[in-house]
Structure 1
Amino acid sequence: MSPPSLVGVFPVLPTPFDAQGRPDVGSLRKLVAYLLRCGVDGITYPGVASEVGQLTPDERLSLVDAVLDEVAGRVPVIAGVSSSDAALTGRLAAAASARGAAALMVAVPPDRKSAAEQIGYFTQVAKAAPEASLMLQNVPLPVGAGLDPEVLLEVIAAVPAIRYVKEETLPSGQRLTVLRDRGPAHLLGVFGGAGGRYITDELRRGAAGTMPAIELAEVHTALFKAHREGDADRVRALFTRMLPVLNVQAVFRWSLTKYVLKKRGLIADTRQRMPGPLLDALDAADVDAFLGDIGDLLLPQDQLP
């Protein structure tokens, strides 16, 4: 594999909603400013952590525009363009590519059961945005197809536009090793996801970076800085300190992320469109305590946008 050109921490922005359930563009822009202050290497939007399945195509187009406008070229943006409809994915891909996205993230659709069907889907998307780099997001069932490494390698080899993979099917580290060792020359890097819960294993195996949710962006960037400096002890120490919050995030997903961001004054409302468990008072008290334990790793309130 050639050296990756996209490397580091690319958090996935959530989609803030107002009290009426409409996208809150002001809060979204504030989250972009927060990530830039954290020193992230890039930004991803929209993805699973963005409740992307609950957004209309027009909302997706306008919100990606807002993110790219707020970033203003300061870091690369990976635009999520996934859908089960290849024509819609192509439309979203062409628009995001024309607007300046650095790469287009496309989840493997679960209804394509064979390698040939997956190849046909990704080939159609690649034709819609011929200048773009695609990132194949291997999401496990039921959201994605959770392709085995052998099938992934067949798909990647057949579609040269696929230059990155976000591997989220477990065990992600072992799968990452297979892709790195046997991927074609045009595969530039493999990223981890899954909230950053397996980041130490992924980095040890040569991951190009990580694409977690954003509530601990400062800690993720500090951890990756330690990785770049070869400080494995600090990588492990930072990961260990994050784990209590990551454990809660694994269960509560959008509820946890939005609770933390609202508590820190970064979004106006915790409303979510995606169904799922919500934090109750005891859960929130736990999260407050865990955040207190890592307060020294987070940006002070007066440094937040």
Structure 2
Amino acid sequence: MAHTIHKGVFPVAPTVFDQEGRLDLEGQRRAIDFMIDAGSTGIAILANFSEQFSLTDSEREVIQRTVLEHVAGRVPVIVTTTHFSTQACAARSREAQAQGAAMVMVLPPYHGATIRVEQERIREFYQSISDQIDIPIMVQDAPISGTAMSAEFLASMAREIDNVSYFKIETAQAAAKLRKLIQLGGDAVEGPWDGEEGITLLPDLQAGATGAMSGGGYPDGIRSIFDAYAKGSTDLAAGLYQKWLPLINYENRQCGPATCKILMKEGGVIRSDHVRHPFAPVPPAIRAGLLEVARPLDPLVLRWAR
């Protein structure tokens, strides 16, 4: 089988709930269909912007199975399998691979505000997961874990651990870290990726990022920036980045995981934009501001179901 290097825009799919907070699998499938129609190169599921931390283990299994079966190979799917336990994370990763995932995304092990492990245990964690699967592992380097991993450490894992080959960099000065990671890791770093809803997308592309994991509400907008840059139209990419940046900012700084649900509900993709308690609903004025910024951009999400 030919080796595939994944590039492009892989937005995070929301987990769709009804107004009572139960899984809405019909809405989940519609959200996935919209995201594919909107130009997603691939899709990520069960990420933090999917509210994965609010799901039971059985609900995770239902979402994973439902999405992978519904996508049915139309686009590659990245499954987040993060868990503090090496054994549990490896089991989740094996199951994701068995059901058709193209890649797994994994944060370094952490728990709460204070429980961390030393660097050598982190290396062993990723090594053990790699030893039990045959698909790539994306290391999510994000402040949420409270775990500092240097570019040197990430590059060493890329060189020394077979399946550790993708890195989603969401730390401060992400572009500088991406440049250093690419320089140190060489060909072992198959996927230096942008994250954080695309708030640093342009500088990350300039640094050499080959993938972007953004929010799920407007893949068409993120694709327009990504594709222009990939074709060498850097001025056009910069202009498109400036055009979409206010909406990206609303997602990154104001509405968070609720953003794509609000947009999808407004456009008739899903019936409810419910986020699970203890998340609070987005205040009406902030919701109105989000839509006010979104409408002039004419994203597909606001007209896909009309």
TM-score (norm 2): 0.91
Matched with 1:14 is: 14
Of residues 93, 118, 122 in structure 2, which corresponds to 1:118?
A: 122
Q: CA deviation at 1:270?
A: 1.6
Deviation string, structure 1 residues 177-225 (Cα, Å, up to 9, x no partner): 0111111533211111000000001111111110001112110112222
Matched with 2:180 is: 178
Deviation string, structure 1 residues 59-97 (Cα, Å, up to 9, x no partner): 212211111111111111111111112221111100111
Contact 1:112 1:118 (C-alpha < 8 Å) held by counterparts:
no
Contact 2:107 2:141 (C-alpha < 8 Å) held by counterparts:
yes
Hey, what's the Cα distance between the residues in 2 that align with 1:69 and 1:133? 20
Partner SS for 2:214 = coil
1:259–1:8 Cα change, 3 Å: same
> Which amino acid in 1 is paired with 2:123?
I
TM-score (norm 1): 0.92
Hey, what's the Cα distance between the residues in 1 that align with 2:280 and 2:180? 35
Contact 1:118 1:155 (C-alpha < 8 Å) held by counterparts:
no
Hey, what's the Cα distance between the residues in 1 that align with 2:146 and 2:131? 22
Hey, what's the Cα distance between the residues in 1 that align with 2:33 and 2:4? 26
Contact 1:108 1:118 (C-alpha < 8 Å) held by counterparts:
yes
Partner SS for 1:183 = helix
Matched with 1:137 is: 140
Hey, what's the Cα distance between the residues in 2 that align with 1:299 and 1:238? 18
Hey, what's the Cα distance between the residues in 1 that align with 2:146 and 2:217? 24
Matched with 2:295 is: 292
Hey, what's the Cα distance between the residues in 1 that align with 2:200 and 2:76? 24
Q: CA deviation at 1:231?
A: 1.1
Contact 2:105 2:138 (C-alpha < 8 Å) held by counterparts:
yes
Q: CA deviation at 1:280?
A: 1.6
Moved more, 248-257 or 21-30: 248-257
Matched with 1:270 is: 273
Hey, what's the Cα distance between the residues in 2 that align with 1:38 and 1:246? 16
Moved more, 143-152 or 202-211: 143-152
Matched with 1:63 is: 63
Is the counterpart of residue 91 in structure 1 residue 91 in structure 2? yes
RMSD: 1.9
Q: CA deviation at 1:6?
A: 0.2
Matched with 2:242 is: 240
Q: CA deviation at 1:229?
A: 1.7
1:258–1:144 Cα change, 3 Å: farther
Hey, what's the Cα distance between the residues in 2 that align with 1:299 and 1:155? 39
Partner SS for 2:138 = strand
> Which amino acid in 2 is paired with 1:77?
V
Q: CA deviation at 1:30?
A: 0.6
Q: After TM superposition, where is structure 1 displaced by more than 6 Å over at least 4 residues in a row?
A: none
Gaps of 5+ in 2: none
Identical positions, percent: 26
Contact 1:15 1:51 (C-alpha < 8 Å) held by counterparts:
yes
Of residues 223, 227, 232 in structure 1, which corresponds to 2:225?
A: 223
Matches within 5 A, 1:90-109: 90-109=90-109
Contact 2:9 2:226 (C-alpha < 8 Å) held by counterparts:
yes
Of residues 275, 282, 286 in structure 2, which corresponds to 1:283?
A: 286
